[in-house]
Amino acid sequence: MEVPENFYSLIETVCRDLYIQSLKEIPPDVVEAVKRAASRETKEVAKRIFSHYLQSIELGRTKDMIVCQDTGIPIYWVEIGGNMRLDGSRLSKAIVSGTERATREHPLRSSIVSPLKRENRQTSTGERIPIIHYDFVADSDVLDILFMPKGSGSENMSSLKMLVPADGVNGIKRFVMEQVVGAGAKPCPPTIVGIGIGGSSDLCMTLAKKATTRPLGSPNPDPEIAALEKELFEAINQTGIGPQGLGGETTALAVHIESAWTHITCNPVAVNMQCWRAERRRAKVWADGRVELGF
């Protein structure tokens, strides 16, 4: 189905709203996980930190406040239904404009600078920013946009290792444990630990990030990978790092793995963490202008 002329301005508004709303409303699955984690703590300090998390979540929802001050790097994961006929370059432009409008109209802090001069356009955009990932879904009439304002505290803890096949799955386990423990308090634990395995270096890291966008605790469909997720989840939560690295029972809210096939000589693994606030917001848009918001 061909999209109408006003479709692109609709996308612009949708993207503006996704950015603003994502900073104020924490996804319900994340809220549930934070509540569950809070109820497991026995130590005074950990209980105190979790109560601050829950109060901030509540203020975002009820008082229209920004939960965490970091407006992040804007990232969009876009899935285009195979039955939709649209102009991809106009779609990209609308997403960029929506990002700029959110920043100007709210206003939001623009956290985006050029890499060397550190120049800030005050629009949350710049060369290749926002980051837009495209994917295509057969037999679908929907444009699905998932937005995340990726916070820097957790993003700065990202890492990739090109392991060799002889390192095996044990090499993967060791690397993940070292990275999560090494990050300590910095990514504002408890985090969602996203892990990419396989692919090339760039794909591996993209998979790690994509893994953090999955609904919390949803297992990977491959039972062998799901078992690895469970094993690492339990291991990370035995380290005792806890909320804000001040000690506690929960260091990870979830461990998600995404995979791709790789080269015979490669065994890449990537870790990308998402902080406790784990912000994401989704919109499904139909060609006739219907919009459904979700997470």
Binding site for other proteins (CB under 8 A): 44-45, 48-49, 52-53, 55-56, 59-60, 63, 65-71, 107-109, 151, 153, 170, 173-174, 177-178, 181, 184-186, 188, 231, 235, 238-247, 275-277
Residue 209 as a binder of ligand SF4 (CB under 6 A): the answer is no
Nearest Cα neighbor of 253 from 200, 180, 204, 203 is: 180
Complex with ligand SF4: residue 81 or 149, whichever CB lies closer: 149
Q: In the structure encoding, which two tokens stand for residue 11, read together?
A: 């996308």
The verdict on whether omega for the bond into residue 130 sits within 30 degrees of 0, i.e. cis, is yes
Of these partners, ligand SF4, other proteins, none, which one is at the site of residue 42 (CB under 5 to 8 Å by kind)?
A: none
Give one DSSP letter per residue of 46-95, joined into a string.
HHHHHHHHHHHHHHHHHH---SSS---EEEEEEEEETT-B--HHHHHHHH
C-beta of 271: minimal distance to other proteins in Å?
14
Map residues 187-206 to x or -, x wherever contact with ligand SF4 holds by CB under 6 A. xx------------------
C-beta of 3: minimal distance to ligand SF4 in Å?
35
C-beta of 219: minimal distance to other proteins in Å?
19
Q: Tell the residue number behind the tokens 């949350």, with chain if given.
A: 124
Distance CA 48, CA 112 (A): 33
Among 60, 130, 151, 243, binds ligand SF4 (CB under 6 A): 151
Complex with other proteins: residue 81 or 151, whichever CB lies closer: 151
Map residues 260-279 to x or -, x wherever contact with ligand SF4 holds by CB under 6 A. ---------------xxx--
Of these partners, ligand SF4, other proteins, none, which one is at the site of residue 118 (CB under 5 to 8 Å by kind)?
A: none
Strand segments (E) across 69-177: 73-81, 131-137, 142-150, 159-163
Distance CA 205, CA 94 (A): 26
Complex with ligand SF4: residue 80 or 216, whichever CB lies closer: 216
3-class SS of residue 101:
helix
Complex with ligand SF4: residue 151 or 268, whichever CB lies closer: 151
Nearest Cα neighbor of 1 from 291, 283, 284, 287 is: 287
Of these partners, other proteins, ligand SF4, none, which one is at the site of residue 74 (CB under 5 to 8 Å by kind)?
A: none
Question: Contact at 8 Å (CB) between 112 and 124?
Answer: yes
Sign of the dihedral defined by the CA atoms of residues 241, 246, 249, 250, in that order: negative
Considering only 46-54, 94-102, 151-159, 226-234, which stretch makes contact with ligand SF4 by CB under 6 A? 151-159
Among 74, 98, 130, 153, binds ligand SF4 (CB under 6 A): 153
Number of residues that bind ligand SF4 (CB under 6 A): 11
Residue 70 as a binder of ligand SF4 (CB under 6 A): the answer is yes
First to last CA, the chain: 25
